[in-house]
Amino acid sequence: MQDTTALIQMAPGASAPVADSEETQTRLIPRALNGREKAAVVVRLLLNEGADLALEELPDDLQERLTHQLGRMGLVDRVTLAAVAGEFADALESVGLAFPHGLAGALDAVNGKIAPATAARLRKVAGVRQIGDPWQRLREVPPEDLAGIAQAESTEVAAVMLSKLDTPKAAQLLGQLPGPVARRITYAVSKTANVTPEAVERIGWSLAAQLDQRPTPAFQDGPDERVGAILNQSAAATRDGLLTALDEEDEDFANAVRQSIFTFAHIANRIMPRDVPVVLRGIEQPVLVTALAGASDEDENASVDFLLSNMSTRMADNLREVITERGKVKQTEAEEAMANIVGVIRALTDEGAITLIESEDETEDGN
């Protein structure tokens, strides 16, 4: 133990612990350390304990100063270590609120909470060289947007981007690319072995800057989704007529709109049986009776049978009696009731309470 104490006292930059003469037993006093030295002690302690510190998120100059300080520390005695750890713990307990570092960090914190136009303008002010990991931001970009970036860049840059993405996101990106392009990029990954970390970082910031330069869309949903939502609430005759006209103008857009449409006739194929009670709780019985009684074609009748077969037997029998007593329903009343039910289903889907089954057309497109 004496040898260890001597080593500590002889370490570069170390000062001998001071003895308190007023005590009958010798009590060691911690070394006097500045803030940078204390930070190095805390980082070394946490790393020794296996903590996963995101030091790469610090500004570059702080990372460099911290690394140099770690190399100068030498040995630290137990008393000093305990004192620094205690001071650090007290500082953590006293923290009430922590704010992000710089404008770039503030923008990440309020992402989605401020106007898109304001966010885009501030990102340009923040500049391309932001702190943190640019690839983390790129990993949050939808795969279809990444596919557009990959096709606009060189094959080598796209290969680096593919290599830096998480495996599931990389697979989704390849699925969004034309076959020949995906094959070229995949092969180019084999050529990235000698790419330096600095080059990878520059590529990341360059791609992240492209995200800031994109025009801010005025609408959150795509045009096919917006038209589909409108036609969901339209009368069947109006919906069919508009889809026919769209087929003549732009068949691809018309097909995309059809995939976005969800009507009463789709219930049997796109609602899970276990979700039927959840849907029914949000529908008043007179509306439900009108919709069920007004079913007129094969698909609508299939949805009626589906709903009745996935509720309690007693409730289904009661509804059948009420439907029989109701008799024939006007088409306008039936369509209004069906639109009401579709609105309830859409609201539950947006809330995440239920999940729609993908239509066959969507599944084929995904393959």
| Whether the predicted pLDDT of 322 surpasses 50 | yes
At 151, the amino acid letter reads: Q
**Residues 12, 90: one domain?**
yes
| Whether the predicted pLDDT of 16 surpasses 80 | no
| Whether the predicted pLDDT of 57 surpasses 80 | no
- 162-199 pLDDT, tens digit each: 999 999 899 999 999 998 999 999 999 998 888 998 89
C-alpha to C-alpha distances, 151 to 68, 161, 181, 207, 215, nearest whole angstrom:
42, 12, 8, 12, 18
Kindly state the helix (H) or strand (E) to which residue 324 belongs, with its residue range.
Answer: helix 313-326
| Whether the predicted pLDDT of 156 surpasses 90 | yes
For range 32-57, the mean pLDDT = 90
Q: What is the pLDDT of residue 216?
A: 66
- Among 163, 159, 141, 149, smallest CA distance to 207 is for 149
For range 228-251, the mean pLDDT = 85
Q: What is the pLDDT of residue 362?
A: 47
**Residues 290, 358: one domain?**
yes
Higher per-residue confidence, 98 vs 102: 98
DSSP per-residue string spanning 18-59: EE-TTSSS--EEPP---HHHHHHHHHHHHHHTT----GGGS-
| Whether the predicted pLDDT of 225 surpasses 70 | yes
The residue among 94, 125, 142 that closes a domain is 94
For range 286-308, the mean pLDDT = 93
Q: What is the pLDDT of residue 100?
A: 78
- 128-149 pLDDT, tens digit each: 445 567 888 888 888 988 998 9
Q: What is the pLDDT of residue 126?
A: 63
Residue 86 falls inside a structural domain: yes
Beta bridge partners of 28: 19
CA–CA distance, 320 with 308 (Å, rounded to integer): 9
Domain count, the chain: 3
Domain span at 208: 133-213
**Residues 89, 137: one domain?**
no
Residue 112 falls inside a structural domain: no
**What are the two backbone dihedrals, phi and then psi, of residue 201, each rounded to the nearest 5 degrees?**
-65, -45
From 16-20, 131-135, 241-245, 317-321, the region with the lowest mean pLDDT: 16-20
What tokens does 342 get? 């579709």
Q: What is the pLDDT of residue 359?
A: 66
Residue 36 falls inside a structural domain: yes
| Whether the predicted pLDDT of 43 surpasses 70 | yes
The residue among 73, 94, 115 that closes a domain is 94
Contact yes or no for 341/268 (Cβ under 8 A): no
Residue 73 falls inside a structural domain: yes
139: CATH: 1.10.220.30
| Whether the predicted pLDDT of 286 surpasses 50 | yes
Contact yes or no for 359/269 (Cβ under 8 A): yes
**Residues 278, 351: one domain?**
yes
Q: What is the pLDDT of residue 274?
A: 94
**Residues 78, 142: one domain?**
no
Q: How confident is residue 99, by pLDDT bands cut at 50, 70 and 90?
A: confident
**Residues 207, 266: one domain?**
no
DSSP per-residue string spanning 214-260: SPPPS-SS-HHHHHHHHHHTS-HHHHHHHHHHHHHH-HHHHHHHHHH
| Whether the predicted pLDDT of 66 surpasses 70 | yes
Residue 247 falls inside a structural domain: no
At 35, the amino acid letter reads: G
| Whether the predicted pLDDT of 7 surpasses 70 | no
Q: What is the pLDDT of residue 12?
A: 44
- Among 353, 355, 346, smallest CA distance to 263 is for 346
Strands 18-19 and 28-29: antiparallel
Residue 46 falls inside a structural domain: yes
* Summary mean pLDDT of the chain: 83
Q: What is the pLDDT of residue 132?
A: 62
**Residues 138, 200: one domain?**
yes
Q: What is the pLDDT of residue 23?
A: 45
Residue 116 falls inside a structural domain: no
Q: What is the pLDDT of residue 301?
A: 93
Contact yes or no for 143/175 (Cβ under 8 A): yes
Name the range with the highest mean pLDDT among 15-29, 234-248, 304-318, 336-350: 304-318
Q: What is the pLDDT of residue 367?
A: 45
Residue 67 falls inside a structural domain: yes
CA–CA distance, 208 with 133 (Å, rounded to integer): 10
From 25-34, 159-168, 193-202, the region with the lowest mean pLDDT: 25-34
The residue among 94, 124, 150 that closes a domain is 94
Q: What is the pLDDT of residue 308?
A: 95
**Residues 206, 270: one domain?**
no
